[in-house]
């Protein structure tokens, strides 16, 4: 596996792949790898001739007071894990390489980027603007045929799909299912912040999603009832959500009835750790990304 630090070196490494028309897959990450990251690298390895894993803690998606400086970092560990999963290139640039002096441009997906995570009750519009900007830059740097993201960051995948569509980018977005711990907690790099007591309470997020799923599966079509069932599980654990929302799985718009496929999302702070999770209602649990997979578009 080749480790590269600059855009020029990255393009040089990938130039022969372009000449040979080899299928290039990109797995964008901020490092601190867990099972979710590794599942995406494995999928990319199975589907692509060349696998690029980017490792970059993106300062543009953190706002003042968030955990940028303390975000978990262990490049040596991540490098070993990526290599073990068969990655061909690890792109690990410094912030100055991605955002050089004088950088002024940002990419924003207006509606999708300002709800839920992008609302002031969440992480604010600068968060998803930062995500859209860095992903656009990575797509320009790597020029992948397929880019791999996880279902846990569901809203992020909607934003990225929209920017790919709106900006005519020739890349297919592949979404892998959320990978969970044995007790249901969604794997996250931030889970390392949790104390043992907080770790126990954090399971309330996935239990809330399961409660909402159960009510919907029993035939309840009123979003308020589905949300009430989920909220009860959070209340029982003493967890106050930043948001608990039921949205259309097509475009994250508000829904009046649960009569198709809907997305149940939650965000909450457990101690100092902010966690998010979601589930697609009406999609078999064994393949929670199947709806997203149906919407994937082939590269242009």
Check if the beta carbon of residue 47 is closer than 8 Å to that of residue 23: yes
With the CA atoms of 225, 226, 228 and 229 taken in that order, what torsion angle do they form, in degrees rounded to the nearest 10? 120
CA dist list (Å): 236 to 89, 112, 239? 46, 31, 8
Contacts of 264 (CB under 8 A, 6+ apart): 209, 212, 213, 226, 227, 230, 245, 246, 278, 279, 280, 281
Tally the residues of the chain. Answer: 300
Residue 1 per-residue DSSP state: -
Q: Among 34, 37, 127, 200, which one carries the catalytic annotation?
A: 37
Residue 200 annotated among the catalytic residues of the structure: no
Identify the residue whose tokens are 């299928």.
23
Catalytic residues: 37
């Amino acid at each position: 596996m080749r480790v590269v630090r600059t855009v020029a070196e990255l393009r040089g490494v990938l130039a022969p792949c372009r000449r040979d028309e080899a299928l290039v897959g990109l797995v964008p990450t901020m490092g601190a790898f867990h099972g979710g990251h590794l599942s995406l690298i494995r999928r990319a390895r199975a589907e692509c001739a060349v696998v690029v894993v980017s490792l970059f803690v993106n300062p543009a998606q953190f706002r003042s007071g968030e955990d940028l400086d303390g975000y978990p970092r262990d490049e040596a560990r991540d490098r070993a894990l990526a290599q073990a999963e068969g990655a061909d290139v690890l792109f690990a640039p410094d912030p100055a390489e991605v955002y050089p002096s004088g950088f002024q441009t940002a990419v924003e997906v207006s509606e999708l980027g300002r709800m839920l995570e992008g609302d002031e009750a969440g992480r604010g519009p600068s968060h998803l603007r930062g995500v859209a900007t860095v992903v656009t830059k990575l797509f320009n740097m790597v020029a992948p045929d397929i880019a791999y993201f996880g279902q846990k960051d569901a809203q992020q995948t909607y934003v990225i799909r929209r920017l790919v569509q709106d900006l005519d980018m020739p890349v297919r977005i592949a979404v892998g299912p959320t990978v969970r711990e044995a007790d249901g907690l969604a794997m996250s790099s931030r889970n390392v912040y949790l104390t043992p007591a907080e770790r126990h309470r954090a399971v309330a997020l996935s239990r809330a999603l399961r409660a909402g799923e159960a009510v919907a599966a029993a035939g309840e079509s009123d979003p308020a009832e589905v949300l009430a069932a989920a909220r009860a599980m959070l209340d029982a654990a003493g967890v106050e959500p930043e948001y608990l929302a039921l949205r259309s799985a097509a475009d994250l718009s508000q829904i009046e009835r649960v009569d198709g496929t809907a997305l149940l999302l939650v965000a909450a702070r457990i101690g100092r750790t902010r966690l998010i999770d979601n589930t697609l209602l009406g999609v078999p649990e064994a393949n929670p990304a199947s709806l997203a997979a149906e919407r994937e578009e082939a590269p242009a």
